[in-house]
């Protein structure tokens, strides 16, 4: 038990999916897992464990943004022996070449958050994915015929940008493919504990073309993304 998780030792599997939304965590468990057990309800951050193709897998909601995600990632790694973590969610595309519903496999995550700068001081730490998980996800996506983008993303502390996306211009020029709000924390903390981590995120909207997924297409894309994440952990 931790300040934010009430699960008992052994309640979580060594492999875990990390959506932000508690409702999405429950949907993942109901849709994809068998023999599901709820292991956490503290502060509404739902955690569940079940089986997928005979393997134990857990799902834990982390909330939105690096500060919230960092709490759950730290506590899962400190107290529950998690070995492999895959964040599943959505992101905003930063290149018109990539379309909504494309799936981003985040190779690395830059950030404007003070979390890493406060920790590393003069050094600009490179938050990177586990190569084994990244390679497996790319292979599974190719087998499934999914459109994927492998590249660097930006983890931004701001959802509403008062500068209208202007700071993203230099990032786009350096190959950054998408923006979201949690991955830099995931990769940094996983590295600290020797765990393996990857973010798999569907492009739900494009900040360049302003294209957005319809509600039906969003749901279909979530099925593709979560299936890919689960098969990556297989």
Phi, psi of 40 (to 5 degrees): -150, 135
pLDDT computed for residue 110 by the predictor: 93
Going along the chain from its start, the domains and CATH numbers come out as 15-232 (3.40.50.1580)
What is d(CA 140, CA 107) in angstroms, rounded to the nearest whole number? Answer: 16
- Quick one: tokens of 210? 């302003």
Contact call for residues 85 and 69 (beta carbons, < 8 A): no
The 8-class DSSP code of residue 212 comes to B
Residue 17: CB partners within 8 Å, gap ≥ 6? 25, 28, 57, 58, 59, 60, 86, 87, 88, 226, 229, 230
Question: 215-232 and 131-144 helices cross at what angle (nearest 10)?
Answer: 120
Which one of the listed residues 11, 21, 157, 205 is annotated catalytic? 205
pLDDT computed for residue 29 by the predictor: 96
Which among 210, 83, 76, 99 is positioned nearest to 149, based on CA atoms?
A: 99
The CA distances from residue 122 to 116, 125, 136, 147, in Å, are: 10, 9, 34, 38
Which among 89, 106, 77 is positioned nearest to 28, based on CA atoms?
A: 89
What is d(CA 41, CA 48) in angstroms, rounded to the nearest whole number? Answer: 9
pLDDT computed for residue 169 by the predictor: 84
Average pLDDT for consecutive 10-residue bins of the chain (234 residues)? 89 97 94 96 94 97 94 96 96 91 96 82 88 98 96 89 73 92 97 98 90 77 94 95
Which among 109, 106, 85 is positioned nearest to 18, based on CA atoms?
A: 85
What is d(CA 120, CA 30) in angstroms, rounded to the nearest whole number? Answer: 40
What is d(CA 222, CA 61) in angstroms, rounded to the nearest whole number? Answer: 15
Active site residue 205: yes
């Amino acid at each position: 038990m931790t300040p934010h998780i009430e699960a008992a030792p052994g309640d979580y599997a060594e492999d875990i999916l990390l959506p932000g939304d508690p409702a999405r965590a429950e949907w993942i468990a109901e849709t994809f897992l068998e023999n599901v057990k709820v292991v956490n309800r503290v502060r509404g951050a739902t955690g569940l464990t079940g089986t997928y193709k005979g393997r134990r897998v857990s799902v834990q909601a982390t909330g939105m943004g690096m500060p919230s995600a960092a709490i759950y990632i730290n506590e899962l790694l400190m107290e529950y022996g998690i070995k492999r973590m895959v964040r599943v969610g959505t992101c905003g595309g930063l290149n018109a070449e990539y379309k909504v519903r494309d799936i981003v496999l985040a190779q690395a995550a830059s950030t404007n958050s003070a979390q890493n700068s406060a920790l590393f001081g003069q050094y600009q730490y490179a938050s990177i994915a586990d190569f084994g998980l990244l390679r497996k996800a790319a292979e599974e996506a190719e087998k499934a015929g999914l459109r994927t983008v492998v590249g660097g993303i930006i983890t931004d502390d701001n959802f509403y940008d008062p500068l209208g996306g202007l700071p993203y211009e230099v990032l786009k020029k350096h190959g950054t493919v998408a923006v979201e709000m949690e991955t830099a924390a995931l990769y940094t903390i996983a590295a600290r504990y020797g765990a393996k981590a990857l973010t798999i995120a569907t492009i739900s909207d494009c900040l360049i073309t302003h294209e957005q997924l319809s509600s039906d297409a969003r749901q279909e894309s979530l099925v593709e993304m979560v299936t890919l994440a689960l098969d990556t952990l297989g």
